[in-house]
Amino acid sequence: MSSLGVHAALAGRGVDLALDVAEGSVTALVGPNGAGKTSLLHLVAGLARPTSGSVRIADREVAGTTWVPVHQRRVALLTQRPALFPHLDVLANVAFGPRSGGATAADARTRALAELDAVGCAGLASRRPQDLSGGQAQRVAIARALATDPDVVLLDEPLAGLDVAVATEVRHALAARLRGQTSLLVTHELLDIWTIADQVAVLEGGRVVESGPAAELLARPTSAFLGRLSGTNLFTGTALGDTVLQIAPDVNLHGLPDPDQPLTVGLPGLASIQPAAVALHLADPGGSPRNHLAAEVTGIEPRGHYVRVNLTVAGQPLAADLTGQAVAELALRPGLRVLAAFKATQVRLYGR
């Protein structure tokens, strides 16, 4: 059963989207700026009216032949800005939704405290929004959004404004709170997909060009998907130890575990390597790098001051950034077999 169905166009913006989301699924929306990700959220929230087609939430048509205004749609919206009401304290902010929904003051308060507790912010109940850090504010915003029992949660790059350490914290809070909650998550971050989403939809030019389970796309990323993820190499596999990920039979990656998301032996894991950290050799150079992978060149793209070399490793794509001089010295060409080497300290390993 589909919990969310968008089959709608916004003629003026060149947007024509088709997406069905199963109940309880968190779908990551990826795509370049202007691809229609935010338009999709607006169509669902009721902030944009489709010029044709319809939008259904929990099997109720909210746009199309009928029009349900924002406040009757039971959607929650989280953006980069927490937008906590500055004239209300934290508790009143979170209780705002239940109160608007008709709950008594006491019930709304109880619910708000529970939601704050669930994101680890119970101690902030009497604070003013102005006195919160960015991460605290975003967690309170999560509590506020979920206090209304929304049918769909819409997230528009909710972690984009936070620095890395804080984003990690909030990411975990989100992952925990969104489990089983039908959601759409606009993001450019691989980690968000890995940690929070179970489905991915790739948008381009106002259309959904690809969609499927997140695990599959991470294991066998298509170019459309990869192209959207800020050029990070990633490998999925099974954890053999704290610092070892098996990405194919007899192909192991050594790396450093992410302190917040360590690997668990026998469970899936994800590895990421920056293309600039990958060195290519014609013969085994020996030396210190822990990782030496047999690779085949599939393409060479000059990019100004460096050259992006595309390769395959154990059936998964790998990108390496080299100087033009190095490419010439190695006489790299498509079909050439090489060794890709990188230090274990350049590989980040994430458990789930």
| Chain residues in the site for other proteins (CB under 8 A) | 45, 47, 69-77, 79, 81-88, 96-97, 100-101, 129-130, 132, 137, 144-145, 148, 150
Nearer to other proteins, 130 or 288 (CB): 130
As measured in angstroms, the least distance from the Cβ of 125 to other proteins is 16
Nearer to other proteins, 148 or 233 (CB): 148
Nearer to other proteins, 97 or 351 (CB): 97
As measured in angstroms, the least distance from the Cβ of 20 to other proteins is 22
As measured in angstroms, the least distance from the Cβ of 118 to other proteins is 17
Nearer to other proteins, 71 or 337 (CB): 71
Nearer to other proteins, 84 or 279 (CB): 84
Nearer to other proteins, 148 or 195 (CB): 148
As measured in angstroms, the least distance from the Cβ of 99 to other proteins is 8
Nearer to other proteins, 21 or 75 (CB): 75
Contact (Cβ atoms closer than 8 angstroms) between residue 11 and residue 46: no
- How far apart CA 268 and CA 219 sit, in angstroms, is 10
As measured in angstroms, the least distance from the Cβ of 48 to other proteins is 12
As measured in angstroms, the least distance from the Cβ of 38 to other proteins is 12
Nearer to other proteins, 96 or 235 (CB): 96
Helix axes 105-118, 90-100, angle to 10 degrees: 120
As measured in angstroms, the least distance from the Cβ of 340 to other proteins is 45
As measured in angstroms, the least distance from the Cβ of 174 to other proteins is 17
